[in-house]
Amino acid sequence: MGVRPRLRLVSIALDCPDPLALAAFYQRATGYALHPGSDSGFAGLTREDGLHIGFQRVDGHRAPQWPGDGGTTPQQAHLDFDVDDLDEAEAMLLELGAAKPGFQPDSARWRVLTDPAGHPFCIVAR
């Protein structure tokens, strides 16, 4: 059967209406470096180990819904971030422009927030 190739995740891309604005939100939240080729059509952030988070403009973008709206604009995908302190991280992210949906399945262990373009993401207690 042979040796299976090893896959290494190198990039994640999120659709959004304003790539530079969404990149700025995540840059302030994570400290990742803005890719020098970022523009209004596609912006990106790069982590020290090379992981790239991209934000691509989609005209007519419809934000995903958390926990869902019956299938027309489902969650699609989400990012998870480890944090040392849930309350401190939540406060910082809300100040940066995140929102906190009412539905929180286990707020003692993780919190679901949405970025300024409406994508759900989680902060998870280490």
Mind listing the pLDDT tens digit for each residue in 13-61? 999 999 999 999 999 999 999 999 999 999 999 999 999 999 999 999 8
- Is the backbone peptide bond immediately before 67 cis, with ω within 30 degrees of 0? yes
The CA distance from 20 to 92, in Å, is 20
Whether the pLDDT of residue 78 is over 90: the answer is no
Q: SS3 string of 103-121?
A: CCCCCCCEEEEECCCCCEE
